[in-house]
């Protein structure tokens, strides 16, 4: 394999070390070798006095990372052999925690599409930069999963119920909304990223970013806080849907219809995950909970069916089972949170 074909490229320029996710044809979707490559680079640079800043970006023009290469989870769910999928999740969640506590500035350039596992590698960093092209999302409910990689920890701490809205609908946040929801810190125009990277090699990270940061363009969610907070404050998903349909806002009706197209089981498990995560005291505790929930999803009908419909056959016509929210009872939701004994992640 030539260096250009490596799935993770690393380089050091001045005082900055750079990690580039390098599967542009797959929108830099994550494989186990990529996780290991990022982890190895962080190990190598943590105690290197020449490296003062780490910079993460993605190859290609479309985005930083579209998340995990989820065919692995489809195969695991279909075969019943979860070994490789669970090993991937362990490596991924441990890396997310590592990034959150990395002792040097970790600058994530969240340009373009940033979804799922891409959020895990970026939104836990200490300096998170979005551009006008950024679309940040945790769309797991679309494939029968629940937001993970620390997504429930982040979204449960967004202002009001904005995080619940994003999690239950899977909708993406533009740059202003990503900053508002605590998924990013700074807005830098995409055209300025090459100059920012050059300056990061020569000066402290926060100084370089401050030079290139600009006021973030107006977003959407700030103007929708009133109906979002009122509707998503309900105790159950069914009541949330009722409030969305009845509040009179066209955007609320759209949100209800979007939510109802997702896996009913995943939507209910997501609401419960967010509310439990809000009471947890650390990212690691949330990752432990997400590991239980994601591993449990491997035993459901909806996960392989959602991946089939969205990724494999691409017919966008998943047949969920159960098919309605009313059929998803409390016992089914509780199964997502069952302790795993010796197979716990155990980060907290």
Chain segment 207-243, per-residue pLDDT in tens: 999 999 999 999 999 999 999 999 999 999 999 999 9
pLDDT digits (tens, 9 = 90+) for 294-344: 999 999 999 999 999 999 999 999 999 999 999 999 999 999 999 999 999
| Bond preceding residue 322 cis, omega within 30 of 0 | yes
**Helix or strand or coil: residue 110?**
strand
**What pLDDT sits at residue 2?**
45
Q: How many CB atoms lie within 10 A of CB 326?
A: 9
- Residue 149: name the closest of 162, 135, 133, 136 by CA: 136
Is the pLDDT assigned to residue 3 strictly greater than 60?
no
Separation CA 337–CA 284 (nearest Å): 16
- Residue 53: name the closest of 61, 65, 41, 63 by CA: 41
Q: How many alpha carbons fall within 13 Å on the CB side of residue 148?
A: 28
Confidence label for 4 from pLDDT (cuts 50, 70 and 90): low
End-to-end CA distance of the chain: 38
Is the pLDDT assigned to residue 260 strictly greater than 90?
yes
User: Rounded mean pLDDT of the chain?
Assistant: 97
Average of per-residue pLDDT across 82-98: 97
Confidence label for 21 from pLDDT (cuts 50, 70 and 90): very high
Confidence label for 5 from pLDDT (cuts 50, 70 and 90): confident
Model's pTM, two decimal places? 0.96
CB 213 within 8 A of CB 184: no
Average of per-residue pLDDT across 17-24: 98
Average of per-residue pLDDT across 246-263: 98
Give the helix/strand (H/E) hosting 323: none
């Amino acid at each position: 394999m030539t260096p250009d074909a490596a799935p993770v490229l690393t380089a050091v320029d001045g005082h900055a070390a750079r990690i580039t996710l390098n599967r542009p044809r797959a929108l830099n979707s994550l494989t186990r070798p990529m996780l290991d490559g990022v982890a190895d680079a962080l190990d190598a640079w943590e105690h290197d006095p020449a490296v003062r800043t780490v910079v993460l970006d993605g190859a290609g023009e479309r985005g930083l990372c579209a998340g995990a290469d989820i065919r692995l989870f489809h195969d695991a769910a279909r075969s019943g052999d979860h070994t490789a999928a669970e090993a991937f999740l362990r490596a991924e969640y441990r890396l997310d925690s590592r990034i959150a506590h990395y002792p040097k500035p970790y600058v994530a350039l969240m340009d373009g599409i940033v979804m799922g596992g891409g959020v895990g590698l970026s939104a836990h960093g200490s300096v998170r930069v979005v551009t006008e092209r950024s679309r940040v999302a945790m769309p797991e409910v679309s494939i029968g999963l629940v937001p993970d990689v620390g997504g429930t920890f982040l979204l449960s701490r967004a202002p009001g119920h904005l995080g619940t809205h994003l999690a239950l609908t899977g909708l993406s946040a533009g740059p202003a909304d990503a900053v508002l929801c605590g998924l990013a810190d700074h807005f830098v125009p995409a055209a300025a990223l090459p100059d920012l990277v050059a300056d990061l090699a020569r000066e402290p990270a926060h100084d370089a970013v401050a030079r290139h940061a600009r006021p973030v363009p107006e977003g959407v969610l700030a103007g929708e806080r009133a109906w979002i907070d009122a509707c998503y404050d309900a105790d159950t998903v069914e009541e949330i849907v009722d409030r969305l349909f009845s509040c009179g806002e066209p955007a609320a009706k759209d949100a209800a219809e979007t939510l109802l197209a997702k896996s009913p089981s995943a939507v209910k498990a997501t609401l419960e995950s967010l509310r439990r995560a809000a009471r947890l005291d650390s990212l690691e505790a949330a990752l432990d909970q997400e590991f239980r929930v994601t591993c449990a999803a491997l035993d459901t009908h909806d996960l392989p069916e959602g991946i089939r419909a969205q990724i494999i056959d691409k017919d966008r016509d998943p047949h969920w089972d159960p098919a309605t929210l009313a059929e998803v009872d409390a016992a089914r939701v509780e199964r997502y949170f069952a302790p795993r004994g010796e197979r716990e992640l155990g980060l907290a």
